[in-house]
Structure 1
């Protein structure tokens, strides 16, 4: 048998006030005496009353909810940003709704439509791939949104990301400056703008140091992800004809470091490693790893700020924030042994 929810009418009947007075009291209307507000709040708590957010949304046009659509909650890089966004949105009076597409583009479109159907006030969106149709859905529905961490080609909209091209360049300059001549580059998926930009920046550094492309073995991101899933990462590390390894993200670098150690190789004596995301900035008990990420400024904080501004000022021109990056040298890169 269905059990009916406690309503404003039930609370009004229990404490002897009109429905309108109960509604005003629970909204904290200062025109009502404090004793009246307190009596009504106490009755509502005792009865287990929960505000009907749908009715409130219909009245105000605001739900107080922000959807964050992320591609992989297993990735600590995204978890760290979710923590920041949750804290800052709550301070601004919003609840956070986290939706995970699980590296599935089709699910991503479904989640966007679901968030809009729930009348969220805005969307913080981590694009997984270069998918223009996802952006068009939000635009057609006049949904305030901000793209985070990556860009989508030929789309100009509110966007916060790190300077991935500069990051790739810094990785290349650091290793080439130490004297490395042969490299293994373990990619992310090539449909990610971060992968494209990081590799372009790295190859620019290689050209400036006169290192030929034949000295650089690039492992496609799809092979890297498959090897992680199948526990066959070691196969990608052979042949050991390189002295420096660049990894698209820390969550690949750490298992690579374990594999190299199991093979009897020392870092950085035998192989130097430079990575991206600097997870140790938020998780200091992780092993030291030379890694590249933004310093001080936060993709998450700037994304929240842009979205709240977009909600209040929907006609503003698009804002794009590209955060500078730096290399956090934690000792996993050194000159090659002669």
Structure 2
């Protein structure tokens, strides 16, 4: 079977009766084009089935209009919502967004940064597994604009968009404290991950003199760890009266174990989670959570990285978005139980 010849910009120009430069201006908006000429060019594009070559255009303009979002766990509904916000914002700006998943691996971070630089992406939205120092250094060596999401990182200044984990954790601590809880287990993520470290320290700070009654259990941000941590907490003597799960996967795993062991929520155990689940995943909003504006985080990060692409000399941008405590039915006053 004879291979179909690829339609070129010259073919479009010939069909529309204009120059190739005029077709290029019509496509990119880089110069003035009359309405009548634009109509002819667009008609020729449709008739011929012309598809602009993004890579070739990138070679000429030094831009590919391609961004990448690198996250630690693409299955986490929080990052799914971040990705949706980023995708919508990128689409509005005629940008292609690539999605990469590292599984919380620093080696994978470096591999993706190298691959994305080789593919000519214009900028990266990056959720590091921990501090992401080596990945940030690699991106800088490739002159690749990078914006950190959902993390507080140390080292060289870098633009970031994250939520206020500290105030959110304090609000969770104050809520449980007001309900009379003192013996609490924090089901945390890995030591060294800024979001986990910040949430633990801020929650403990909200309890001041009662910190010695709080156990901190460190593991992964996963449902499996939520199950394991909840089992450890339930087996401890004396048993805590409340759990604080530092992300939605940990909270889901903990709830599974509580249900399996016949521990009623909130009658026997109160639980607060960090990160809400999308409304489409909840038949009955039940879990008291510290909610983060995940969609806004993604869309804001796209705007920040595009600013850096347009103006490499622009100042570092630091965006901290507010959290909200949503009190539902998974927490109760200790005296009422």
- TM-score band (shorter)? 0.7 to 0.9
Secondary structure at 1:279 match in 2: coil
DSSP-derived class of the 1:264 partner: coil
2:270 matched to which residue of 1? 272
Corresponding residue number in structure 1 for 2:232: 236
Shift of 1:261: 2.2
Q: How many residues align?
A: 332
The equivalent residue for 2:259 is: 261
Question: In structure 1, what is the equivalent of residue 101 of structure 2?
Answer: 100
**Quick check: 1:227 aligned with 2:228?**
no
Partner of 1:124: 125
1:329 and 2:327 correspond: yes
State the SS of the aligned residue for 2:162: strand
Partner of 1:205: 206
Over 3 Å counting, the alpha-carbon distance change for 1:23 and 1:327 in structure 2 is: closer
Indicate the larger mover: 53-62 or 294-303.
294-303
Show structure 1 runs of 5+ residues with no match.
none
Q: Does 235-244 or 122-131 show the bigger shift?
A: 235-244
Aligned runs of 1:60-99 on 2, under 5 Å?
60-99=61-100
Q: TM-score, normalised by structure 1?
A: 0.86
Q: Which residue of 1 aligns with 2:243?
A: 245
2:189–2:246 CA contact under 8 A, matched in 1: yes
Residue 91 of structure 1: CA displacement?
1.5
Separation in 1, partners of 2:314, 2:25 = 34
Give the match for residue 314 of structure 2.
316
- Scaled by the length of structure 2, the TM-score of the pair is 0.87
Contact kept? 1:146, 1:158, Cα under 8 Å: yes
Provide the secondary structure at the position in 2 that maps to 1:238. Answer: helix
Deviations 1:269-308 (A, max 9, x none): 1101111112256755354211113469932233223222
Q: Is the 8 A contact 1:25 1:32 kept in 2?
A: no
> In 2, Cα distance between the equivalents of 1:91 and 1:260?
44
CA distance in 2, matches of 1:267, 1:32: 67
Specify the SS of the correspondent of 1:251. Answer: helix
Superposition pairs for residues 298-309 of structure 1, below 5 Å?
298-309=296-307
Shift of 1:45: 2.8
Measured after TM superposition, the shift of residue 155 of structure 1 is 3.4
Asked whether the 8 Å contact 2:290–2:324 carries over to 1, the reply is yes
- The 4+ residue runs of structure 1 with deviation greater than 6 A are none
Over 3 Å counting, the alpha-carbon distance change for 1:281 and 1:303 in structure 2 is farther
Q: Which residue does 2:195 correspond to in 1?
A: 194
1:169 Cα deviation from its structure 2 partner = 2.0
What secondary structure is seen at the aligned counterpart in 2 of 1:130?
A: coil
Q: Which runs of no fewer than 5 residues in structure 2 stay unpaired?
A: none
In structure 1, what is the equivalent of residue 113 of structure 2?
Answer: 112
Check conservation: 2:148, 2:159, Cα contact below 8 A: yes
Q: 1:320 to 1:25 in 2, by over 3 A?
A: closer
Distance change (3 Å), C-alpha of 1:218 and 1:296: closer
Which segment drifts farther, 17-26 or 70-79? 17-26
User: Does structure 2 retain, via aligned residues, the 8 Å contact 1:290–1:327?
Assistant: yes
